[in-house]
Amino acid sequence: MSSFPTNAIMASRLSRVLPAALLLTGDLVSAQTYKIDSADDIISASKSLAQNVMTYYHGNESGQTPGILPGPPPAGDYYWWEGGALWGAMIDYWHYTGDTSYNDLVSQAMLWQVGPNQDYMPPNVTASLGNDDQGFWGMSAMLAAEVNFPDPPSGQPQWLSLAQAVFNTQADPGRHDDTCGGGLRWQIPFSNNGYDYKNSIANGCFFNLGARLARYLDNQTYADWAEKTWDWVQSVGLMDSEYRIYDGAHVETNCTDINKAQFSYNNAVYLLGAAYMYNYTDGDSKWEDRITGLLDATIRDFFHDNVAYEIACEQQMTCTTDMLSFKGYVHRWMTTMTQIAPFTKDKVIPLLQQSAQAAVNQCTGPPDGKTCGFQWSSGTFDDSVGAGQTMNVLGAVSSLLVDQAKPPVTNATGGTSAGNFNAGSDSDSFTNTPTPITTGDRAGAGILTALVLGCALGTFTWMSTGA
pLDDT in tens, 105-148: 999 999 999 999 999 999 999 999 999 999 999 999 999 999 99
pLDDT band, very low/low/confident/very high, at 175 (cuts 50, 70, 90)? very high
pLDDT band, very low/low/confident/very high, at 444 (cuts 50, 70, 90)? very low
pLDDT surpassing 50 at residue 209: yes
Sign of the Cα pseudo-torsion (307, 364, 325, 451, in order)? negative
Pick the range with the lowest mean pLDDT from 28-37, 155-164, 289-298, 316-325. 28-37
pLDDT band, very low/low/confident/very high, at 7 (cuts 50, 70, 90)? very low
Q: What is the DSSP string of 121-177?
A: --GGGGGG-BHHHHHHHHHHHHHHHHTTPPPPPTTSPPHHHHHHHHHHHHHSGGGB-
CB 115 within 8 A of CB 79: no
* Closest listed residue to residue 93, CA positions, set 51, 128, 123: 51
Angle between helices 39-54 and 80-97 (to 10 degrees): 150
CB 204 within 8 A of CB 277: no
If you ran DSSP here, which 8-state letter would residue 294 be given? H
If you ran DSSP here, which 8-state letter would residue 344 be given? G
How far from the centroid of its chain's Cα atoms is residue 357's Cα?
Answer: 21
Could you give the CA distance from residue 20 to residue 37 in angstroms, rounded to a whole number? 15
CB 282 within 8 A of CB 218: no
Percent of the chain with pLDDT over 90: 84
pLDDT surpassing 70 at residue 397: yes
Could you give the CA distance from residue 454 to residue 462 in angstroms, rounded to a whole number? 14
Please give the pLDDT value at position 32: 54
Between the alpha carbon of residue 192 and those of residues 100, 176, 186, 435, the distances in Å are 39, 16, 10, 11
Please give the pLDDT value at position 459: 34
Return the domain boundaries, the chain: 33-416+439-462
Secondary structure (3-state) at 403? helix
Go through 407-437 and write b for each residue having 16 or more CB atoms within 10 A of its CB, e for each that does not.
Answer: bbbbbeeebebebbeebbeebbebeeeeeeb
Please give the pLDDT value at position 438: 35
CB 344 within 8 A of CB 350: no
pLDDT surpassing 80 at residue 193: yes
Between the alpha carbon of residue 158 and those of residues 119, 165, 197, 416, the distances in Å are 11, 10, 32, 10
Could you give the CA distance from residue 14 to residue 320 in angstroms, rounded to a whole number? 30
pLDDT surpassing 80 at residue 31: no
Considering the entire predicted model, what is its pTM?
0.87
Higher pLDDT, 312 or 446: 312
Could you give the CA distance from residue 449 to residue 32 in angstroms, rounded to a whole number? 38
pLDDT surpassing 80 at residue 422: yes
pLDDT surpassing 80 at residue 435: no
Please give the pLDDT value at position 74: 94
* Average pLDDT along the chain: 88
CB 278 within 8 A of CB 340: yes
pLDDT band, very low/low/confident/very high, at 427 (cuts 50, 70, 90)? confident
Please give the pLDDT value at position 440: 35
CB 271 within 8 A of CB 299: no
Cα Rg for the chain, rounded, in angstroms? 21
Secondary structure (3-state) at 260? coil
Residue 392 CB neighbour total at 10 angstroms = 30
CATH number of 33-416+439-462: 1.50.10.20
**Side chain identity at residue 86, one-letter code:** L
Please give the pLDDT value at position 428: 79
pLDDT surpassing 70 at residue 239: yes
Please give the pLDDT value at position 426: 84
